[in-house]
Amino acid sequence: MSDVRWAVSATVMLMLAGGCAGLKSPEPESPPEPAEAVEPAPPAPDAIEPRPAPVLPVAPAPEIRRVLDYFRGLRKLSGAELAREYDNARSAFARTRSDYDRARLALLHALPDAAFNDESRALELLEPLVRSQNSMLNDLAFLMHSFVQQQRRLGHSLQGVQEKLDALKALEKSLIERQRGGEKRK
C-alpha cells in the first residue's frame, strides 16, 4: 500500500509541477499608440482568417527543474540513504536559508511513510515561498502546499476509517465471544 501511495504521490506531484512550470504571469498591456483613422477594407469573400500561432510549452525555470530532479532522485534512495539526505537537507537549509533548500526540506517532510514525515512542518516551510511572488519557486511551492494539504486531509480521513474498522472488529469479536458463551451454557 505504501508503494502505491508513494508512486501516486510522485506521479501527481511531477505532473502538476510540470504543468505549472509553463505558466507565466500576464504581461501588462502597453497603451495603444494613436493611429491614423483609416477604414479597413472589407475582407475578400474567399479570404481565410489567419490562425494564431500555437503556444509552445515553456521550459521550466532552472530552480523548478532542480527541485523536480531532486525529487526524482529521492525516489531511488533506500531508507538509510533517505535519512542521510534528510540530515543533509536540514543542515543545508539551516546554513543557506535559500528557497531551493527550503523546498528540498519541505519535500522531504512531505514524503509519505518516511520516518521524518511531518506535514505540518512541510506546510510551514512552504508558506514563505507561497506568499513570495518574487520567488522562482512560487508556483511549485503553491502546488506542493496544496498537495500536502490534500495528503493531510486524506490521512485524517483514513485514520477515521481505520478507527471505525477497529470498532467493527471489536464488535464482531464480542458477538463471537458472546455466541460461544451461549453455546457452552446449553
What value does the CA radius of gyration of the chain take, rounded to a whole number of Å?
A: 27
Cell reading at 9: 504521490
pLDDT of residue 135: 87
Give the predicted TM-score (pTM) of the model.
0.58
**Residue-by-residue pLDDT tens, the chain, 186 positions:** 455 555 556 555 555 555 554 544 445 555 555 555 556 555 555 556 666 766 656 656 788 999 999 999 998 998 899 999 999 999 999 999 999 999 999 999 999 888 899 999 999 999 999 998 888 998 999 999 999 999 888 888 888 888 899 999 999 998 988 888 766 655
Please tell me the distance from the alpha carbon of residue 107 to that of residue 42, in angstroms, as a whole number: 58
Cα dihedral sign for 155, 158, 164, 167?
Answer: negative
pLDDT of residue 181: 78
Half-sphere exposure of 145 (CA within 13 A, CB side): 16
pLDDT of residue 6: 54
Please tell me the distance from the alpha carbon of residue 91 to that of residue 75, in angstroms, as a whole number: 21
pLDDT of residue 90: 96
Which letter, b or e, does each residue of 118-130 get, where b requires 16 or more Cβ atoms within 10 Å of its Cβ? ebebbbebbeebb
